[in-house]
Structure 1
Amino acid sequence: MKCSLFPASLFCIFLCSNTVFAQPVLETGGQKMPDEWTDKDTHHKVVRLTRNGGSNMSFYFHNNPFVGNKMVYYSSNANAAKTDQKLESYDAALSRNKQLWLLDLDSKKMEQLTFQASPMNGEIVNNKSGDVYYQIKDSVWCVNALTKTNRLVYVFPKNFQAGITTVNADNTLLAGVWNEDKEKELFKEHPNKSDYFNVIYEARLPRTLFTVNIKTGELKKIFTDSAWLNHVQFSSTDPSLLMFCHEGPWHKVDRIWTININTKEKRLMHKRTMNMEIAGHEWFEPDGKRIWFDLQQPRSTKFFVAGTDVKTGDEKKYELTRDEWSIHYNISPDEKFFCGDGGNDTQVAKAKDGMWIYFFKPEGDHFASTRLVNMKHHNYHLEPNVHFSPDGKWIIFRANFEGIENVYAAEIAEHK
Structure 2
Amino acid sequence: MIGQTFQSEKKSYKDEKTGRLVWQLTSNGSNNYHLYFTDNSFTLGDQEIYFLSDRSSESPEVYNFFKMDIASGLITQVTDEKQGIKTHTKCPDSELLVYTTGNTLKKVNTRTLQSEVIYEERGNVRLGSPFISPCKKYTGVIRNENVNIERGANYSGFKESMYSVKKAWITLVNMDGSAAVNVWEDTHYLGHFQFSPDDSTIAMFCHEGPWNLVHQRMWLLDTVSRSVTPCFRQGEDDCVGHEFWTRDGMIFFDNRKKGHDGTITSDRTQATVHAEPEQNQVPYVGLANKKGEVIRTIELPYYCNHYHANNDNSLLVGDDVDDLVLIRLDEEKPAPVPLCTHKTSWYNNRRHAHPTFSWTGRQILFASDRENRNNNLYLIDLD
TM-score for the superposition, normalised by structure 2: 0.83
For residues 326 and 391 of structure 1, the distance between their equivalents in structure 2, rounded to whole angstroms, comes to: 23
| Equivalent residue in structure 1 for 2:113, among 139, 145, 149 | 149
Which residue of 71, 74, 99 corresponds with 1:106? 71
Q: Is contact 2:170–2:185 with CA below 8 Å preserved after alignment? A: yes
Q: CA deviation at 1:247?
A: 1.4
* 1:264/1:155 CA distance change after superposition, 3 Å: closer
Equivalent residues in 2 for 1:131-280, closer than 5 Å: 131-145=96-110, 147-159=111-123, 161-163=125-127, 164-181=129-146, 183=147, 185=148, 187-188=149-150, 191=152, 195-252=156-213, 253-273=215-235, 275-280=236-241
Indicate conservation of the 8 Å contact 1:359/1:412, yes or no: no
C-alpha displacement of 1:251: 2.2
The aligned amino acid for 2:51 is: Y
CA shift digits 1:69-89 (9 cap, x unpaired): 211001112xx76xx5xxxxx
- Alpha-carbon RMSD: 2.3
User: 2:335 is aligned with what amino acid?
Assistant: A
Partner in structure 1 of residue 262 of structure 2: none
| CA positional deviation for 1:195 | 4.9
8 Å Cα contact 2:317-2:325 kept in structure 1: yes
For the 8 Å contact 1:233–1:244, the answer to whether it is kept is yes
Instruction: Tell me if the contact between 1:175 and 1:212 (Cα under 8 Å) persists in the aligned partners.
Output: yes
Task: Work out whether 1:380 is the aligned partner of 2:352.
Answer: no
Matches within 5 A, 1:2-401: 35-68=11-44, 69=46, 70-77=48-55, 93-96=59-62, 98-128=63-93, 130-145=95-110, 147-159=111-123, 161-163=125-127, 164-181=129-146, 183=147, 185=148, 187-188=149-150, 191=152, 195-252=156-213, 253-273=215-235, 275-288=236-249, 290-299=250-259, 300=277, 301=279, 302-311=282-291, 313-322=293-302, 325-343=303-321, 355-364=322-331, 366-375=333-342, 377-381=343-347, 382-401=351-370
Change (3 A) 1:216 1:198: closer
- Identity %, equivalent residues: 20
Q: Deviations over 1:127-178 (max 9, x none)?
A: 2361111121122222233x24121131325247552521111111111122
- Number of paired residues? 347
Q: Tell me which residue corresponds to 2:270.
A: none
Relative to structure 1, the CA distance from residue 412 to residue 67 in structure 2 (aligned partners, 3 Å threshold; closer, same or farther) is closer
The unaligned stretches of length 5 or more in structure 1 are 1-32, 85-92, 344-354
Match of 1:107, SS state, is coil
Task: Give the conservation status (yes or no) of the 8 Å contact 1:141–1:150.
Answer: no
1:341, distance to aligned residue in structure 2 (A): 1.4
Cα distance in 2 for partners of 1:231, 1:179 equals 12
Cα distance in 2 for partners of 1:128, 1:115 equals 21
Deviations 1:337-371 (A, max 9, x none): 1111112xxxxxxxxxxx21111211345423321
